[in-house]
């Protein structure tokens, strides 16, 4: 999926990846789980719609039916209940989740079966269901972009290293792993935007835990360095771009003005490091991460140096 696609999953895919603590089960409309789709991670409650305000229903969302909705339906007679349910425009709803293990009215089960509308049940209360389902759908429906590079966990920060093929990204990663840092992904990095400003990266399942070094081939990092040398996913905090020395035209010599790269609409701080024979890339990357950590804490050595220089000139 590229960044321009609208993320979509079927209800059956949601059921397959839903957290076990929800204890989800399908009580009606099972045929619809393969065709009804979820496109929005936000949850909606059907209370207003059942009361007649059906224009509040947003397609693509999971709809919650809790104790208050069932109490309202319980006050109606069978004919009124069926009419209220049919007025929901069931063909527009992705699926309905009944919380707290409550028993839905027979009319809702019958209409859901007739419309092939997935009617789900969970044992947890509505508040817990809303937060848990939202977190799950945010992950499943997160915009995805695939990038060529290496993702590492260095000093607790997620570092995305990119650059031209053959520039030494994987060799640098191997040296950093040998120094005690952790590999997340090599060569192909799947980047997801979680919420408005958070990016996470991971390796495709086939490539997970593996690193390719020209001349050595494909290696399993877990087997070579142990389980502590790998991580399955990591928030992306810094991008480091490796460029050949004779091609690196936009290098910030002082480091005063921070650079950034945009990924899936989120700005990520970026440093450009020129590469030439004899330069110790792993040491440079480690130092770059330390510099970024200090900047996060509010200290910028370059700006401090310039300020001291200006003060000295003023005194003279």
Annotated catalytic residue: which of 81, 169, 192, 193? 169
Annotated catalytic residue: which of 17, 34, 92, 148? 148
Residue with tokens 């993702």, as numbered in its chain: 151
Q: Which of 272, 304, 85 is nearest to 162 (CA)?
A: 272
Rounded distance between C-alpha atoms, residue 93 and residue 116, angstroms: 11
Annotated catalytic residue: which of 187, 210, 234, 237? 187
316 catalytic, yes or no? no
Annotated catalytic residue: which of 5, 77, 246, 253? 253
Rounded distance between C-alpha atoms, residue 109 and residue 28, angstroms: 6
Rounded distance between C-alpha atoms, residue 192 and residue 179, angstroms: 28
Which residues, at least 6 apart from 252, have a Cβ–Cβ distance to it below 8 Å? 259, 272
237 catalytic, yes or no? no
Rounded distance between C-alpha atoms, residue 35 and residue 128, angstroms: 27
As given in the structure block, the two tokens for residue 257 are: 């003005």
92 catalytic, yes or no? no
Per the CB < 8 A criterion, the answer to whether 71 and 104 are in contact is no
253 catalytic, yes or no? yes
Per the CB < 8 A criterion, the answer to whether 136 and 17 are in contact is yes
Rounded distance between C-alpha atoms, residue 222 and residue 202, angstroms: 16
Residue with tokens 């989120």, as numbered in its chain: 266
Over its C-alpha atoms, the chain yields an Rg (Å, rounded) of 26
Cite the active site residues. Answer: 148, 169, 187, 253
């Amino acid at each position: 999926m590229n960044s321009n696609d609208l993320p979509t999953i079927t209800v059956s895919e949601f059921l397959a990846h839903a957290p076990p603590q929800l204890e989800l089960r399908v009580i009606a409309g099972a045929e619809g789980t393969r065709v009804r789709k979820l496109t929005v991670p936000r949850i909606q409650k059907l209370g207003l719609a059942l009361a007649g305000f059906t224009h509040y229903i947003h397609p693509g969302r999971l709809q919650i039916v809790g104790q208050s909705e069932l109490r309202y339906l319980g006050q109606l007679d069978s004919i009124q209940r069926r009419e209220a349910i049919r007025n929901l425009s069931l063909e527009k709803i992705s699926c309905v989740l009944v919380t707290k293990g409550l028993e839905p009215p027979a009319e809702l089960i019958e209409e859901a079966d007739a419309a092939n509308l997935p009617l789900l049940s969970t044992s947890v209360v509505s508040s817990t269901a809303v937060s848990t389902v939202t977190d799950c759908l945010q992950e499943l429906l997160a915009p995805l972009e695939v990038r060529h590079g290496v993702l590492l966990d260095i000093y607790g920060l997620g570092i995305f290293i990119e650059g031209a093929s053959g520039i030494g990204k994987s060799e640098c990663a191997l040296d950093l792993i040998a120094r005690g840092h952790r590999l997340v992904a090599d060569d192909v990095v799947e980047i997801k935007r979680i919420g408005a400003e958070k990016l996470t990266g991971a390796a495709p399942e086939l490539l997970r835990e593996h690193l390719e070094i020209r001349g050595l081939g494909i290696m399993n990092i877990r087997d070579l360095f142990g389980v502590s040398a790998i991580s399955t996913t990591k928030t992306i905090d810094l991008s480091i771009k490796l460029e050949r020395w004779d091609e690196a035209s936009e290098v910030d010599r002082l480091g005063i003005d921070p650079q950034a790269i945009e990924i899936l609409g989120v700005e990520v701080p970026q440093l450009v490091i020129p590469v030439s024979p004899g330069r110790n890339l792993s040491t440079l990357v480690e130092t770059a991460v330390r510099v970024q950590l200090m900047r996060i804490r509010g200290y910028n050595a370059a700006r401090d140096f310039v300020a001291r220089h200006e003060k000295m000139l003023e005194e003279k």
